[in-house]
C-alpha cells in the first residue's frame, strides 16, 4: 500500500487544535485510521491505436499501444472499485475529478510509452484503473497493488489529488516497481521505492509539459495544497527540505545528503523522509547531463529498475553502483552521463569520491 502523503504529515494535521482547521484535523485522523483495501482485477485485452501514413505512395500502418482506462466513483464510501463513470471510449463527463484522473492515467501511459516503449504498468498493456471520491474528506491518494485511489482532500489543507500528474505518475510507478521485482518497503530499499516513484512522477510531468531539466520545477505534488498552506508541494528533488514550511505542517523534513539521514522506526523506517537523498542525486545527475531529463538520466534509472537485477533489499550504495554501471554500459565509462551520475551519488554522500561506484 503506497500513499503520496506520508503519515508524519497527517500526524501533524491531526494534532492541530486550531479551530479553523477542525475539519482538516478530523480528516487527517480518519485518513490515518482508514485501511487501504485491494480489489481484484479482471483480465483485459491489449488496446492499440492504428496510425496511417503514406510513404513513397505506399500506405503504411503502425500500431501503437493505447491506454485502457476505467474510472470509478466510490461516492464518498470506502468500497472499491465503486461505480464505473468513464471508460476508455467514453467522452468527458461533468465531474472534473473524474476527467483529471482519466487524463492523468493517459498522460502517464503516454510518457512511459514515448520515453521507454513501456506499454502500461506491466509492459503488456495492463488496464489502468482509478477510483475517485474515496471516503469522506480523505486526505490521500494511493496505489493498492491493483489500482489508483483518490480522496478529495479536506478542503482546508489538501485541495485534492487528481490535478497533479506527478502524484498520479508517482503512484502508478509503484506498480512498475512492483512488476519489476519490487523493493522492500522499509528503510533504504523503501526510500528507494519512494524515490523512484518521485523521479518518474516529475519526469512524466516534464515530458507532458516539454520541459528541460533546467526549466522544470522538480516538485512532487504541486497544487495539492490549498492557498492557506505555506508550501509549494509535498517534496522537492531540487532542494529537499524546502517544499513547505507551515505553522501546522511544520518544515519539510527531507534531507538532501547522507549527513541528514534520519534513523527512525516511523514511516517504515523513514521511507518518505530519506527518499530525499536519492531524489537529490537524480536531480544533480539530470541537470549536470542537461537537456530532457527523461532521455538519459531517466533512461539509466528506468533500465536499472527494470533489468531484473535489483534485490528487494537494495541499499542506496547498491543502487548507486547499479545506476552507474548502467550508465557505463549505455554511454561508456568516461562519458558525461556516467561521470554525472557518479558525481551526484558522491555529492549526496552515498559513495566515496575515492571508491568507484561500478565494476
Structure confidence by residue, pLDDT tens digits, 120-158: 999 999 999 999 999 999 999 999 999 999 999 999 999
- Across the chain, the runs of DSSP E, i.e. the strands, are 2-3, 48-55, 58-65, 69-73, 83-87, 128-132, 141-143, 148-150, 219-220, 235-236, 245-246, 250-251
Whether 359 is covered by a domain: the verdict is no
Phi, psi at 124, each rounded to 5°? -130, 30
Whether 168 is covered by a domain: the verdict is yes
Whether 357 is covered by a domain: the verdict is no
CATH of the domain at 134: 1.10.390.10
Q: Which of 170, 272, 280, 337 is catalytic?
A: 272
Q: Which residues pair with 285 in a beta bridge?
A: none
Distances (CA, A) of 16 to 107, 151, 173: 36, 21, 32
Torsion angle, CA of 350/202/220/100, rounded to 10 degrees? -160
* pLDDT confidence bin for 2, thresholds 50/70/90: confident
pLDDT over 70 at 15, yes or no: yes
Most confident of 3-7, 56-60, 325-329: 325-329
Q: For residue 50, what pLDDT is reported?
A: 42
Residues 6+ apart with CB under 8 A from 19: none
Residues 6+ apart with CB under 8 A from 157: 13, 21, 24, 28, 139, 225, 226, 228, 229, 248, 249
The mean predicted confidence, pLDDT, of the chain is: 92
Q: Which of 100, 126, 171, 194 is catalytic?
A: 171
* pLDDT confidence bin for 35, thresholds 50/70/90: confident
Q: What is the pTM of this model?
A: 0.91
What is d(CA 251, CA 242) in angstroms, rounded to the nearest whole number?
Answer: 7
What is d(CA 118, CA 233) in angstroms, rounded to the nearest whole number?
Answer: 28
Q: For residue 10, what pLDDT is reported?
A: 96
Q: For residue 54, what pLDDT is reported?
A: 66
Q: What does the pLDDT average to over 210-231?
A: 97
Distances (CA, A) of 273 to 41, 240, 258, 269, 277: 32, 9, 12, 9, 9
Q: Is 194 a catalytic residue?
A: no
Stretch among 41-50, 88-97, 261-270 having the lowest mean pLDDT: 41-50
pLDDT tens profile 234-245: 999 999 999 999
DSSP readout, 4-32?
SS-HHHHHHHHT---GGGHHHHHHHHHHH
Q: What does the pLDDT average to over 60-85?
A: 89
Stretch among 45-54, 257-266, 293-302, 332-341 having the lowest mean pLDDT: 45-54
Whether 235 is covered by a domain: the verdict is yes
What would the grid cell of residue 334 be? 568516461
Whether 30 is covered by a domain: the verdict is yes
What is d(CA 75, CA 37) in angstroms, rounded to the nearest whole number?
Answer: 16
Report, in this order, helix, strand and coil percent for the chain, each rounded to 5.
Answer: 40, 15, 45
Q: For residue 42, what pLDDT is reported?
A: 43
Q: Is 170 a catalytic residue?
A: no
What is d(CA 154, CA 137) in angstroms, rounded to the nearest whole number?
Answer: 4
Whether 238 is covered by a domain: the verdict is yes
Question: Which domain covers residue 51, as residue numbers?
Answer: 2-347
pLDDT over 50 at 305, yes or no: yes
Whether 80 is covered by a domain: the verdict is yes
Q: For residue 359, what pLDDT is reported?
A: 42
> How many independent structural domains does the chain possess?
1
What is d(CA 208, CA 280) in angstroms, rounded to the nearest whole number?
Answer: 22
Question: Is the Cβ–Cβ distance between 269 and 204 less than 8 Å?
Answer: no
Whether 123 is covered by a domain: the verdict is yes
Nearest alpha-carbon partner for 108 in 188, 26, 116 = 116
Residues 6+ apart with CB under 8 A from 43: none
Amino acid at each position: 500500500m503506497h500513499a503520496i502523503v506520508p503519515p508524519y504529515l497527517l500526524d501533524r494535521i491531526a494534532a492541530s487544535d486550531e479551530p479553523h482547521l477542525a475539519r482538516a484535523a478530523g480528516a487527517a485522523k480518519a485518513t490515518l485510521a482508514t485501511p487501504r483495501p485491494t480489489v481484484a482485477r479482471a483480465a483485459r485485452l491489449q488496446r492499440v491505436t492504428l496510425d496511417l501514413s503514406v510513404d513513397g505512395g505506399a500506405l503504411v500502418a503502425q500500431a501503437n499501444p493505447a491506454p485502457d482506462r476505467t474510472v470509478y466513483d466510490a461516492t464518498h464510501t470506502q468500497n472499491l472499485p465503486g461505480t464505473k463513470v468513464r471508460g476508455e471510449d467514453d467522452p468527458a463527463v461533468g465531474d472534473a475529478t473524474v476527467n483529471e484522473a482519466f487524463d492523468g492515467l493517459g498522460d502517464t501511459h503516454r510518457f512511459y510509452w514515448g520515453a521507454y516503449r513501456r506499454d502500461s504498468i506491466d509492459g503488456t498493456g495492463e488496464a489502468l484503473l482509478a477510483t475517485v471520491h474515496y471516503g469522506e474528506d480523505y486526505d490521500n491518494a494511493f496505489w493498492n497493488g491493483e489500482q489508483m485511489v483518490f480522496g478529495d482532500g479536506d478542503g482546508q489543507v489538501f485541495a485534492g489529488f487528481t490535478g497533479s500528474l506527478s502524484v498520479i505518475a508517482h503512484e502508478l510507478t509503484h506498480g512498475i516497481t512492483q512488476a519489476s521485482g519490487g523493493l522492500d518497503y522499509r528503510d533504504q530499499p523503501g526510500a528507494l521505492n519512494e524515490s523512484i516513484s518521485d523521479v518518474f512522477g516529475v519526469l512524466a510531468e516534464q515530458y507532458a509539459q516539454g520541459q528541460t531539466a533546467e526549466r522544470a520545477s522538480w516538485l512532487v505534488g504541486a497544487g495539492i495544497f490549498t492557498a492557506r498552506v505555506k508550501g509549494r508541494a509535498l517534496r522537492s528533488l531540487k532542494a529537499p527540505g524546502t517544499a513547505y514550511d507551515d505553522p501546522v505542517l511544520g518544515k519539510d523534513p527531507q534531507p538532501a545528503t547522507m549527513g541528514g539521514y534520519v534513523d527512525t522506526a516511523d514511516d517504515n523506517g523513514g521511507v518518505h523522509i530519506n527518499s530525499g537523498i536519492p531524489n537529490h542525486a537524480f536531480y544533480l545527475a539530470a541537470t549536470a547531463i542537461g537537456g530532457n531529463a527523461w532521455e538519459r538520466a531517466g533512461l539509466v534509472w528506468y533500465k536499472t529498475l527494470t533489468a531484473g537485477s535489483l534485490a528487494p533489499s537494495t541499499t542506496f550504495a547498491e543502487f548507486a553502483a547499479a545506476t552507474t554501471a548502467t550508465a557505463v554500459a549505455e554511454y561508456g565509462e568516461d562519458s558525461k552521463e556516467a561521470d554525472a551520475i557518479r558525481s551526484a551519488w558522491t555529492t549526496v554522500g552515498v559513495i566515496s569520491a575515492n571508491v568507484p561506484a561500478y565494476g
